[in-house]
């Protein structure tokens, strides 16, 4: 299964989520991330990089913009917020059947957005990393049960 994780700039939340999910090394799961307003090749946030490296996780050090090729590659597209989902559905209505917020995909009764640490201090990023770790743990359980 190919999973595409989306946030705003692909410098904070989606790179952390990608690293956390990739570190699980789940058989037959490939993961990529991008930003709806991302730019190809920008460095990810220093705080995100610090936390990922401290956890010794494989990661992509630069941002990427959402692309139709990656949307087509993906079996499921998971956004960090409802607003990200809405932008994707407006811009790419042909992929509506596979776009969900991360939280609604993992637990439909737990809808909501993943907090955005952008511009915050290391502790703010640590809180977002912890939130994502918990959600990705639930995602792993869902993927391995299917």
Residues carrying an active site annotation = 7, 13, 116
Helix (H) or strand (E) holding 48: helix 46-54
Query: How many Cβ atoms are within 10 Å of 90's Cβ, its own excluded?
Result: 9
Burial of 59 (0-12, 13-18, 19+ CB in 10 A): buried
Dig out the tokens for 77 from the structure: 């597209």
What are the tokens at 118?
């952008």
């Amino acid at each position: 299964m190919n999973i595409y994780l989306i946030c705003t700039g692909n410098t904070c939340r989606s790179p952390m989520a990608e690293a956390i999910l990739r570190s699980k090394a789940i058989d037959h799961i490939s993961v990529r991330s991008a930003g709806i307003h991302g730019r190809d090749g920008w460095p990810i946030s220093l705080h995100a990089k610090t936390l990922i490296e401290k956890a010794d996780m494989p990661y992509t050090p630069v941002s990427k913009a959402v692309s139709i090729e990656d949307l087509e590659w993906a079996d499921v597209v998971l956004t960090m917020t409802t607003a990200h989902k809405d932008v994707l559905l407006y811009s790419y209505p042909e992929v509506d059947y596979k776009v969900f917020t991360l939280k609604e995909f993992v637990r439909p009764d737990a809808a909501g957005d993943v907090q955005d640490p952008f511009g915050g201090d290391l502790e703010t990023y640590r809180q977002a990393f912890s939130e994502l770790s918990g959600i990705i743990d639930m995602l792993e359980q869902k993927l391995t049960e299917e």
